[in-house]
Amino acid sequence: MKLFVTPNSPYARIARIAATEAGLTERIEEIRVVNRSPDSPLLAYSPVCRVPTLVEGALVLGESRTICAYFDRVTGQARCFPEGRADDWQARALEGLVTGFLDGVAVWNRELRREPAARSAFLLEVELRRAERCLDRLEVLCPAAPAEWPWDFTRIALAATLGILDHGLPALDWRQGRPRLAAWFAAASARPAMRATAPERP
């Protein structure tokens, strides 16, 4: 399998963490690309050309969630999507909260990478408020004991999102007033798969 990634994409990190946790790294060739490059080798496989993209033979899978589901299928182990998840609507609601949070943070982070004069102050404000609301809700939902949350797609996506906050938006002191989430993220960050996929300093 080929897995197209960039080192700092939180979406690609979800797939990289899931692959590591599933013990699939030996079977995966990780290929680093540069987003939006006209020479990207990923263009040979995907017109969408986003990371992560997983290629296995004629199968070209985009979307971190789909790729994680594929890893569950390949290994025969329901790590990312535990049995019964499809009908567990509270769990699916939490997944939606986390992926919405991630999407907002990704927009915010992308906007901040633009030249200062080109940034939209409106967009930055909207995404700051969205992130703060999501963080506050997640603090309420987070268990006091970090181990009570399973390490599934939702939590992997949450860890990747908090990781990109630390990496790309360090001015936001998101841990302040959110001790449960901070403790959960500290525990999650100690996992070998998290350490192996940490965003790189520019």
Interaction site with ligand GSH (CB under 6 A)? 9, 11, 35-36, 49-52, 63-65, 106
Q: At its nearest, how many Å lie between ligand GSH and the CB of residue 64?
A: 4
Residue number with CB closer to ligand GSH (37 or 177): 37
CB closest to ligand GSH, residue no: 50
Q: At its nearest, how many Å lie between ligand GSH and the CB of residue 155?
A: 15
Q: What's the CA gap between 122 and 149, in Å, rounded?
A: 35
Beta carbons of 35 and 6 less than 8 angstroms apart: yes
Q: At its nearest, how many Å lie between ligand GSH and the CB of residue 95?
A: 12
Residue number with CB closer to ligand GSH (14 or 194): 14
Residue number with CB closer to ligand GSH (173 or 200): 200
The number of beta carbons lying within 10 Å of the beta carbon of residue 6 is 17
Spatial CA neighbour of 186 closest among 158, 146, 138, 151: 146
Q: At its nearest, how many Å lie between ligand GSH and the CB of residue 127?
A: 14
Residue number with CB closer to ligand GSH (11 or 101): 11
Q: In what order do the strands lie in the sheet with 59-62?
A: 29-32, 2-5, 53-56, 59-62
The number of beta carbons lying within 10 Å of the beta carbon of residue 14 is 26
Q: Which residue has the tokens 């997640």?
A: 138
